[in-house]
Amino acid sequence: MRLLIFLWALPTTLIGVAVGLIWLLSGAKLRIANGVLEIHGGWVGYWLMRQSGFAAMALGHVVLGCSSGVLEQLRPHEYIHVRQAERWGILFVPAYLLAGLWQAMKGRHIYYDNPFEREAFAAEGIAKEMARGVDS
């Protein structure tokens, strides 16, 4: 079953691998954890953070972070996007983009009101509360 899920998410993962290779060439570090390639650091990540406020993103089974510290902090959020990519497979990127555009067309925020982001932010909050030992 894990193999089927991996294959279903593979088109998105391959985009992540292509972007990740660019990051690695810029000096980023690679770590494999929980079946996910985690790539952080390098001047591309640093430059993106400076230019756009980018911190981290997930593309299939690849998670990219501008630094190891940021990646550590945002891992629960990004892993929700990994699970979403496993659920949506080849449809993940178009569904994510269309969901954001739909929110923008309704006068809402293209990023914060995107249902994929809302799910990730909600789960991130739960994970942080669990890490602090707070019942919710």
Determine the Cα–Cα distance for residues 77 and 82; give it in Å rounded to an integer.
9
The DSSP-derived string for 17-62 is: HHHHHHHHHTT-EEEEETTEEEEE-HHHHHHHHHHH---EEEETTE
Does residue 44 touch Zn ion according to CB under 5 A? Answer: no
Could you give the string, one character per residue 94-123, with x where binding to Zn ion holds by CB under 5 A and - elsewhere?
-----------------------x--x---
Rule CB under 5 A: say whether 64 interacts with Zn ion: no
DSSP class of residue 65 equals E
Closest CB to Zn ion among 71 and 120?
120
Q: How far is the CB of 135 from Zn ion (least distance, A)?
A: 25
Element (H, E) at 63: strand 62-65
Quick one: 86 or 117, whose CB is closer to Zn ion? 117
Which CB atom, from 7 or from 112, has the smaller least distance to Zn ion? 112
Helix (H, G, I), strand (E, B) or coil at 64: strand
Smallest gap from Cβ 9 to Zn ion, in A, equals: 16
Per rule CB under 5 A, count of chain residues that contact Zn ion: 2
In the complex, which residues of this chain contact Zn ion (CB under 5 A)?
Answer: 117, 120
